[in-house]
Chains A and B, each alone.
Chain A
Amino acid sequence: MVIKVLDIVSQCYTNEDGQKVYDKIWPVLMRGENVVLSFEGVDTTPSSFINSALIQLLGVMDFDQIKQRLKIIKTTKQINNMIRQRFEFEINRVKTQK
């Protein structure tokens, strides 16, 4: 299923914006379907948005499942770096705590 973030929120800015995106994608992933998440029309995303929209998924799926089932398209360099950086930190944090 293709989900365009700007069809859900008017801006990718706050925790609340991110939560709305999360609420759309996690039920689809939970049904076992793949999600293609499009950031078309978005140039930046701060950490609050990414934490709520995507990092929360680590609470319901493992990272390998997320990588297999969630495809992210039409992003910018800043968005890519933010997503990678936030996932990398959170995964390392969990590893350190184990």
Chain B
Amino acid sequence: MVFGILSNKRINVVIPVKLNITTMYVFIGNVLNERLDAKSDKINFDFSRLEFIDPTGMTVLCNLIGFLYKSRVSVSFSGANPMKNGAVKYLDDSGFFKKYTGKSLSESPRARDSTFPLTTISHAESYSWINDQLIPWISFCKGSAESSFSSIKVCFQEIFNNINDHSTTDIGCICGQYFPNKHEIEICISDFGVGIPYNVRKFSPGLPDHLAISKAMEEGFTTKTKQKNAGAGLDILSRSVVLANKGVLWVSSLKGMVTCTSDSEKIKKTARTVNGFYPGTLIKMRISTDFIQPDDDYIEVFEW
């Protein structure tokens, strides 16, 4: 897909003090319009004001810059000093600058053990990656011996199958952070595909984006982008995060967002229109390590 360039005059985009799920919309809007045209063919990202970036901010930055590269926009960075700025050091330690400039800012950057570094994963790689990279990291955060953590594992299997089945891209950008003081893990995975509402509106025309996301999360609603789809993936994802792991799930796509929280052992879905847009689908989950349960090793007997 080819997108337009709106200007050939270099623009400077200041990354906000905090880059997270709240501030990402304005940040993206400074770079792209809603048709995904880049505001300029030369964009500089100024890191000098950045003080905090969470896993959501990391994946947004990763997807946005990857998209600009594909659109042949010349991207540069300024104001990035890891010696003076903890957030920039965190980015550098996570491999951000090496990924996009070929060189780290520090001599020996090292991702913290509590960080699951920024990673771009295709669907074909995802099965092994979930088993070999993600689950061992979650085991480390939980402080327990490596276990299957099947309720978490299946969340990511559903997400990657969903990206593969419904998006125009089969690649997801993922980043995670463990907050030991809060006993919480935050993981964000996002793509720059067509977005959930795009497919939903083929079957339910006229639905605004936030209600289209909510519709897509109902069990049994399927856009049949693949013949065998049964409309279970997003519903199972929300059950696994909210009910099985007592977590919170955010799904942001185009101009809508749905937040899923626990309410008396049921899932409470809150859908709203956001002030801006996310070009694709972004899924953020926060789970408490106090509630993640390693699996029992024994084999169960199946009864109908």
Contact = CB atoms under 8 A, between A and B. Distances in A.
Among B157, B165, B220, B226, max chain A CB count under 10 A is at B157
A43 B153 contact: yes
For the side of the interface on B, what is the size category?
20 to 34
B157 A46 contact: yes
Interface centre among A18, A74, A77, A83 (most CB of B within 10 A): A77
Contact of A89 (B154, B220, B295): B220
Contacts of B230: 47, 51, 55, 86, 90
B300 A75 contact: yes
Interface in B272-297: 295-296
Contacts of A85: 236
A77 B296 contact: yes
A40 B299 CA distance: 9
B73 interface: no
A61 interface: no
A25 to B, nearest CB: 15
22 contacts: A13-B157, A13-B161, A18-B228, A43-B148, A44-B150, A46-B158, A46-B233, A47-B236, A48-B161, A48-B165, A48-B229, A52-B228, A72-B302, A75-B299, A76-B148, A76-B300, A78-B154, A78-B295, A82-B236, A83-B302, A85-B236, A90-B230
Contacts of A55: 230
Contacts of B232: 47, 51, 86, 89
B219 interface: yes
Contacts of A86: 230, 232
A80 B219 contact: no
Contacts of B151: 78
Contacts of A52: 228
Contacts of A51: 228-230, 232
Interface string A16-60: 001100000000000000000000100111111001100110000
A82 B302 CA distance: 11
Interface string B156-185: 011001001100000000000000000000
Contacts of B153: 43-44
A89 B219 contact: yes
Interface residues of A, number: 36
A80 B150 CA distance: 12
Given A15-B165, A80-B302, A44 B148 contact: yes
Contact of A43 (B219, B295, B301): B295
Interface of B: 127, 148, 150-151, 153-154, 157-158, 161, 164-165, 219-220, 226, 228-230, 232-233, 236, 295-296, 299-302, 304
A1 to B, nearest CB: 17
Contacts of A89: 219-220, 232
A82 B150 CA distance: 11
Nearest to B152: A44
A67 B17 CA distance: 58
A89 B230 CA distance: 10
B223 to A, nearest CB: 14
Interface centre among B161, B164, B229, B300 (most CB of A within 10 A): B300
Nearest to B240: A78
Contacts of A78: 150-151, 154, 295
Contacts of A45: 154
A53 to B, nearest CB: 10
B229 A15 contact: yes
A56 B227 CA distance: 11
Contact of A44 (B154, B226, B229, B233): B154
Given A15-B165, A80-B300, 16 more contacts: A15-B161, A44-B148, A44-B154, A45-B154, A46-B158, A46-B161, A47-B161, A48-B233, A52-B228, A74-B299, A75-B299, A79-B302, A80-B302, A82-B154, A86-B232, A90-B230
